[in-house]
Structure 1
Amino acid sequence: MAKLKLDFSQNKLFENQKTRKTSFLICFFLLLWYIISFFYYEQEELLPAKNEENNTESLIAIPITLPPANTTVNTINDTDNNKNPLQELNKKYCGRSICKFLFVYTHGEQETKANLHFRSFSQLAEKLNRIMILANVGLSRIGSCENFPFDFYYNTNLLQKEFPNIIFKSEEEFIFWLKERDQIKKIMNSKDNEVIPPLSILHSDIKRFGRTPLKTIYKDARPNFNKNRCLLKFEPLMKLTDSNNSQVRYTKMDIGRNDLNTVKSRTEFSKLLVNVLTTDEEILLVNSYIGRPLFPEIMPVIPYNDYILNEAQKIKDKLSSSYIGIHWRLERSEPKLLPKCVQGLIETLNIIMKKEGIKNIYLATDYPLLSSRSQSSTFRQITQYHHDAIRTLNETFKINTWVSLGGLEQIRKDGKHDKEFIGPGIQGILDKLVCMNSNYFISGPKGCSRFVSSFTKAIAEERSNMINLENNHDLLNIIDRWEL
């Protein structure tokens, strides 16, 4: 009986071992089949079809319209380890795997010179193969401190035609790129430290004023965050004071006093400029004040937005398409001379109106028209002499201005642009366009006005082009100065 029990136990143990061995073999073969099948199909997916083996994806560097800055950022899918998420973002945004920007966030001077500055830096963007950021505009300036997008003043489609090889992006689109890059960085760096590095930035002050050196000097500089208040809107996405967010190198360039005076000197200077600013940093931030073109070729004026051109045409039509344009910039005038100045202007107007048969007068001025503040940010000391001179002129003739003729009325009524019209602003562009198309154009002599004015010069140059190149017979002169 004991032996029977023992034999029964041994048989049971043998059967259990046989069952486990069979199960193990079944599992092993099933696992082996799964691995072979997975590898086979995965290889089929990864290998290109025969007719696609030699295909390569070409990247086209053209502007890409993106959602505004307040658009919800897409969730980044990082499950595909074969793709670099940052490179994919850059391809989507810039048309290439690395984005490099030129962001001139301050253009010194008011609109006429700022317009020239922007064109020069667009030429630099092309030489450096960088995307040019369209800084905001407002109060007759171009800069990140202003409140309105670039196309509030300018026609970006025509700008693109003038610079076909440059990708332009608005400040909002730049913020969009910063947001997505920041999201990618947070996701990737949470798994492995420094997979996506901080923003790499070169910040440079490029200036030509004050104690200008004989020759251009370019050197390292100390950080000065007080000057960078226009960049605060980009925090925390781009924070210059946080090395974990932005690794910044600071430089400054003091342009030599004669280095921008001639075509030859600008040719040599532009080579130096391109050389020192050819760098690997993603973002080139520039705080500029130059006053002259940077390159030998001076590009045409940035075209203004169509609605401003339409406003200028409306004013011209209201003046019966026949009028004398006056630019009287009272800043830098000698107040005690103003009684003689206004009499000289009145005599000149009488002569022109009698000789040419013109009855209408349009006045572009920095004298206050909507408030007690002047139409120029640099004209602050308005005296009784100024008030008396304008009153005398207005009592002698019917003087038309952009205000009296209802210029930009729709924008003035919306309440969003009130600050734009009290002081320098978009109305300066309108004045410029109206004076360019006047039948006769005059401006003030020394002592009566700011004689050296880039605004007056721009009007005269455009009138010269219209007469000489376009053979415009409606324009009777380029510019005259009235006498005391």
Structure 2
Amino acid sequence: MASPQLNSLWIKMSTNQLMRKTSFLICVLFMLWYITSFFYYEQEKLSMAKNEGNINVIPPPVLSSNTTITTNNPLEVLNINYCGQPTCKFLFVYMFGEQETKANLHFRSFSQLAEKLNRVMILTNVGSSKIDICNKLPFDFYYNTNLLQKEFPNVTYKSEDDFIFWLKERDQIKKIMNKGDEVIPPLSVLHSNLRRYDITSNAVYRDVKPITSLNSCLSKFEPSMNLTDSSNSRVRYTIMDITKDDLRTEKSRDRFSKLLIDVLTIDEEILLVNSYVLDPLFPVIMPPLPYNDYILNEAQKIKDKLSSSYIGIHWRLEQSRAELLPECAQGLIETLNQVMKEKGIKNIYLATDYPLLSSHSQSDTFGDITNYHHDAMRMLNETFKINTWVSLEGLEQLRKDGKYDAEFLGAGIQGILDKLVCINSNYFISGPVGCSRILSTFTKAIAEERRNRIEKKDHSLLNIIDRWRIFNTSV
């Protein structure tokens, strides 16, 4: 008969073996469940991409055949498959605070930051000429993510849907593991406002009290990321006030970017940023985000319809002097007559914030449309055949789909198309002071790209940018 000590030892050994087998079984079951759910998620996303048409999806990183997962921790397994490392760290800039042309610039800066911080960057949704979480269209709707990845080969990008998938999978793992001895802590989040704040003389980074009026669109990530529930998410709040001198020159940006990297090198899993900065954050300014192929194809179709020879006009009426607009229109007419005669160009393409599809302007910040505006456009149309993205049936397939109606009623994807068509124009002109908004990032982006092409010996472009003159009634 075995002694009590031997019986106790045997029971202890059996219990340990059972626990090891149970743990192993749980891990195996988790892996089967994870692979299955992951497979169905990818299939569903691929199906959605096909239905959207022309959407490039960046898949999660796939482990190479040489990669071996040595951990039995299901959360680490999830992170390794999703982020390529046992702990996922994200940079999620959920608001860029500017329309597309500037948001394009800012996204590049934050991609540089993601690379420096070794964080996965979330591809924030787009729509209405913006990049922010309140929009419903995927990042791919505007941009070519394959080319973006080539611009930033060391950055892993994930869509908002991918991020939600990770949050939900993490929740499932928590439910499984929290029944045992190991408890997964709440999400660790740093929420930071980066803003241009010219009152201070130097950049200031500081902790602040919890923000009670968070952007309501963040609720789309609940309950998995609930910033007001301490049992779900552990949140720290900071603000960085940035002065214009911090970002004015290449040297100052170099100094500032080192400070930015230093203060944001943190342990939190999620770096959540609300950004409103007006300039690049790093000394090196990366090329513009590449647009999706279907938008480029639409621009080419318009160029072909214009017989590949046309004058591009950008007339942003916002901030013009309404009573001056008839003289502005007459000055534009005279300039067009002169250019068409000297350069032998017969076609005209107009990019404008004047209403084209409805009574509302094509800009969210331009609402006071008067009879002066209508008269100016009437003068132009009565003198020339004026082509626009509407008259030339640009983006026609998207316009036929009712789910994109909101995108075309204000600033939206048509602004990108206008930009590309003006870049491709043989001759490009824009409005003078009093007739249009002069400090337009949109116009500046067109001119910069045209300058680059001319420097590369693109002989189809006859100028970078000219501004027409206001008609002088005293002559």
What TM-score bracket applies, with the shorter chain setting the length?
0.7 to 0.9
Distance 2:290 2:116 in 1: 22
Counterparts in 2 of 1:150-229, with a 5 A limit?
A: 150-192=139-181, 195-209=183-197, 211-229=198-216
Distance 2:231 2:154 in 1: 34
Q: Equivalent residue for 1:385? A: 372
Q: Does the CA contact (< 8 Å) of 1:207 and 1:289 recur in 2? A: yes
1:182–1:267 CA distance, 2 compared to 1 (3 A) = same
The amino acid that maps onto 1:203 is: H
Residue 256 of structure 1: how far off its partner (Å): 1.8
Q: Equivalent residue for 1:338? A: 325
1:69–1:289 CA distance, 2 compared to 1 (3 A) = farther
Distance 1:66 1:96 in 2: 23
Does 1:323 find its partner at 2:310?
Answer: yes
Distance 2:286 2:274 in 1: 21
1:298–1:82 CA distance, 2 compared to 1 (3 A) = closer
Residue 223 of structure 1: how far off its partner (Å): 2.3
Does 1:148 find its partner at 2:143?
Answer: no
**Which of 77, 82, 92 matches 1:93?**
82
Residue 384 of structure 1: how far off its partner (Å): 1.0
What secondary structure is seen at the aligned counterpart in 2 of 1:478?
coil
Residue 224 of structure 1: how far off its partner (Å): 2.3
What secondary structure is seen at the aligned counterpart in 1 of 2:432?
coil
**Which of 460, 464, 467 matches 1:478?**
464
- Stretch moving more, 82-91 or 425-434: 82-91
The amino acid that maps onto 1:360 is: N
- Stretch moving more, 300-309 or 228-237: 228-237
The amino acid that maps onto 1:449 is: S
- Stretch moving more, 334-343 or 219-228: 219-228
Q: Equivalent residue for 1:57? A: none
Does 1:313 find its partner at 2:309?
Answer: no
Q: Does the CA contact (< 8 Å) of 1:212 and 1:257 recur in 2? A: no
Q: Equivalent residue for 2:50? A: none
Distance 2:158 2:219 in 1: 19
**Which of 389, 397, 402 matches 1:415?**
402
- Stretch moving more, 375-384 or 156-165: 375-384
Residue identity over aligned pairs, in percent, reads 70
Counterparts in 2 of 1:226-305, with a 5 A limit?
A: 226-305=213-292
The amino acid that maps onto 1:399 is: I
TM-score, normalised to structure 1, is 0.84
Q: Does the CA contact (< 8 Å) of 2:71 and 2:77 recur in 1? A: no
Residue 82 of structure 1: how far off its partner (Å): 6.7
Counterparts in 2 of 1:356-435, with a 5 A limit?
A: 356-435=343-422
RMSD over equivalenced CA pairs, Å: 2.5
Residue 466 of structure 1: how far off its partner (Å): 0.5
Q: Does the CA contact (< 8 Å) of 2:211 and 2:237 recur in 1? A: no
Q: Equivalent residue for 1:448? A: 435
Q: Equivalent residue for 2:448? A: 461
Q: Does the CA contact (< 8 Å) of 2:314 and 2:350 recur in 1? A: yes
The amino acid that maps onto 2:84 is: G
Distance 1:435 1:409 in 2: 19
The amino acid that maps onto 1:282 is: E
Q: Equivalent residue for 1:349? A: 336
Counterparts in 2 of 1:3-18, with a 5 A limit?
A: none
Counterparts in 2 of 1:121-132, with a 5 A limit?
A: 121-132=110-121
* Structure 2 stretches lacking a partner, 5+ long: 25-37, 46-69, 471-475
Q: Does the CA contact (< 8 Å) of 1:104 and 1:288 recur in 2? A: yes
Matched residue count: 423
Q: Does the CA contact (< 8 Å) of 1:68 and 1:173 recur in 2? A: no
Q: Does the CA contact (< 8 Å) of 2:348 and 2:387 recur in 1? A: yes
TM-score, normalised to structure 2, is 0.85
- Stretch moving more, 305-314 or 84-93: 84-93
The amino acid that maps onto 2:130 is: R
Q: Which runs of 4+ in 1 moved over 6 A?
A: none
Distance 1:185 1:212 in 2: 45
Distance 2:199 2:39 in 1: 41
Distance 2:138 2:71 in 1: 38
1:337–1:108 CA distance, 2 compared to 1 (3 A) = same
The amino acid that maps onto 1:365 is: T
What secondary structure is seen at the aligned counterpart in 1 of 2:190?
strand
1:287–1:100 CA distance, 2 compared to 1 (3 A) = same
- Stretch moving more, 154-163 or 200-209: 200-209
Distance 2:43 2:91 in 1: 19
- Stretch moving more, 214-223 or 366-375: 214-223
1:242–1:349 CA distance, 2 compared to 1 (3 A) = same
Q: Equivalent residue for 2:34? A: none
The amino acid that maps onto 1:159 is: L
The amino acid that maps onto 1:172 is: D
What secondary structure is seen at the aligned counterpart in 2 of 1:399?
coil
Distance 1:83 1:183 in 2: 16
Distance 2:413 2:244 in 1: 32
1:226–1:93 CA distance, 2 compared to 1 (3 A) = same
Q: Equivalent residue for 1:115? A: 104
What secondary structure is seen at the aligned counterpart in 2 of 1:400?
coil
The amino acid that maps onto 1:445 is: P
Residue 369 of structure 1: how far off its partner (Å): 0.4
Q: Equivalent residue for 1:137? A: 126
* Structure 1 stretches lacking a partner, 5+ long: 1-20, 47-63, 72-80
What secondary structure is seen at the aligned counterpart in 1 of 2:429?
strand
What's the CA shift string for 1:139-194, capped at 9, x where partnerless?
000011111000000000000000000000000000000001111112222334x7
1:163–1:82 CA distance, 2 compared to 1 (3 A) = closer
What's the CA shift string for 1:367-426, capped at 9, x where partnerless?
010011111111111111111111110111000000000000000001110000000000
